Amino acid sequence: MTLTRSVATRVVADPKRRSANKWGMKGIVLFLFLLAPSSDADPYDDTHNIGSRDLMVHLFEWKWNDIAQECENFLSKNGYGAVQISPPNEHIMINENNDVPWFVRYQPVSYQLNSRSGNETELQDMIRRCNAVGVRIIVDVVLNHMVGVNQKAGQDKRWSSGASHFDAAQGVEYFPGVPFNKSDFNDPLCNHDIEGPDYQHNAAHVKECRLVGLLDLNQGKPEVREKMIKYLNNLIEFGVAGFRFDASKHMWPDHLKLILDGMNNLRSDIFGENQRPFVVHEVIDRGGEAVKVDQYLEIGRYTNFNFGAAVASAIRKEFDVAELRNMGDGFRYGNKESFNVLNFIDNHDNQRDEYPYVVTYKNQGQYVQAVAYMLAWNYGYPRIMSSFNFSNSIQGPPNNGPEVRFSIKSPQFEADDTCKTSSGWVCEHRWPQIRRMAKFREEVGSATISEIRTGPHMLAFARSGRGFFALNNNPGEFIEQNVMTTLPPGLYCDLSSGLKAQGVCTGKFINVTSNGSADIYIPGHNFLAISLSNRL
């Protein structure tokens, strides 16, 4: 098989501040690099990451003390710039079959900082310790709703993660821990669930009716917004860098803007003067829907579910991975400008679908290929999912049993720094190939993409002068001679199979010649990645 040099005219600069406009073309033509000024004036897009640590990890359901240790012992040393944490607010607790479902974290009881992950003191300590080693904290905040209708503290194995009472009975809707009462909800506009056809035909119902029975708050009411803003500003004072807004699709953008505009600037002693919080909105727009991501682009980034769907389709050979050379603004549906998107392969919701349209940790080989491509390609702000093992869609994180109120277990680690399978944690961010690609992304930074070459189910490209990446999605091995890497001559350790340690490669190596070319070999369904720091 022979790679064909694929040519495009691209805008290739810092993905957080540049536009990418590209088109594919066969043949050998001079590759042009153009810089274009950013049209982005959104103050909520900046990630506030340090240096080129352009990567977030979602430590789903981790405890605050464990996250602090992970920042200090692993993330800060392996290219990770930020952590998305689970919602820190007080929430409902539900006991089902000696388990507490994961979704309790998304059913608030109050905005007090007492959750399964820890208390307010532990949260503050974690934020301080992570910032001290250059890892930013992004808080998952749930402002669209409270708990599901007709649930009450003390009944049917329901209680609170803190000490607050709640009564979500229809027409009562009382949450003294905030406080909210029935006048703070959207019941006068809609007191029933969103129905299936609403998603295609009725944006008002999507935003004002109940999402799977959850009591829908009225963010159009100033008193409701004030309590939400107070909650956000409290977290800003602790030193967080920003927020993921859960279920933004179900809130009006103008109401969200009022909330965002009420937030304080980030702490100047950590982030500098006049810095606005990073914001990303959960908006699922797969096409044909009444609510569009375009409506949210001026108030932060959005969760780009279309990125993971497209990459998974390519890895599954539903289309050729060679087409991923065009990934960026305008590629298929829903991929917008680089500074607008938070990209990911899977998240805590869609990995639990009965028939996932994405690849997950349960498809380990395909998943590693997909994540490796995401980290090598210069588009958007990437997030890696870090999961716990589950056998059903509502299963919660590993817990210590009823004697200690189902407290969350801490992850345990093997000698190779992966998580012990017996602990129940998957920890994809610690998988050897993924953590090495996290360092690859940090090292190549904003280096332009060049020397794109393609073949059937093959894609290769350079990160000019800093790195080279190739993906083989065929079952058989791939061998090609004289492939341009743009790297200086020398022996390089291939990050798919190992790394440089004590002056030798723990895996295979690639010899780059004096003109920057190399003969490459890639096993079936695998990748190759080399960078300057892994030159012997």
Res 1: pLDDT: 61
Q: pLDDT tens-digit profile of 18-75? A: 333 222 323 333 333 323 334 467 899 999 999 999 999 999 999 999 999 999 999 9
Across the chain, mean pLDDT equals 93
SS (H, E, C) 38-103: CCCCCCCCCCCCCCCCCCEEEECCCCHHHHHHHHHHCHHHCCCCEEEECCCCCEEEECCCCCCCHH
Residue that the structure tokens 């919660």 belong to? 396
The letter for the amino acid at 301 is R
Q: Is 282 a catalytic residue?
A: yes
Instruction: Give the CATH number of the domain where residue 11 resides.
Output: 2.60.40.1180
Q: Count of domains in the chain?
A: 2
Task: Please tell me the predicted confidence (pLDDT) of residue 27.
Answer: 32
Task: Provide, for the chain, the percentages of residues in helix, strand and coil under a 3-state DSSP scheme, each rounded to the nearest 5.
Answer: 25, 25, 50
In a domain, 234, yes or no: yes
**pLDDT under 70: residue ranges of the chain:** 1-2, 6-40
Active-site hit among 282, 428, 451, 494? 282
Q: Domain of 64? A: 56-142+219-299+388-425
Q: Are residues 408 and 456 in the same domain?
A: no
494 annotated active-site: no
Task: Tell me, yes or no, whether 402 and 529 share the same domain.
Answer: no
- Pair (412, 485) in one structural domain: no
Strands 214-216, 242-245: pairing is unpaired
Specify the pTM. Answer: 0.93
Per-residue pLDDT reduced to its tens digit, 476-513? 999 999 999 999 999 999 999 999 999 999 999 999 99
Please tell me whether residues 421 and 460 are part of one structural domain: no
> Domain for residue 236, yes or no?
yes
Q: Which residue out of 54, 184, 216, 246 is catalytically annotated?
A: 246
CATH code for the domain of 75: 3.20.20.80
pLDDT at position 37 is 36
In a domain, 243, yes or no: yes
Q: pLDDT at position 408, please? A: 98
- Residue 474 and residue 401 share a domain: no
pLDDT of residue 96: 87
Joined together, the tokens standing for residue 36 give 């274009």
Q: Are 402 and 528 members of one domain?
A: no
Distances from the Cα of 17 to the Cα of 141, 237, 337, 380, angstroms: 26, 27, 9, 10
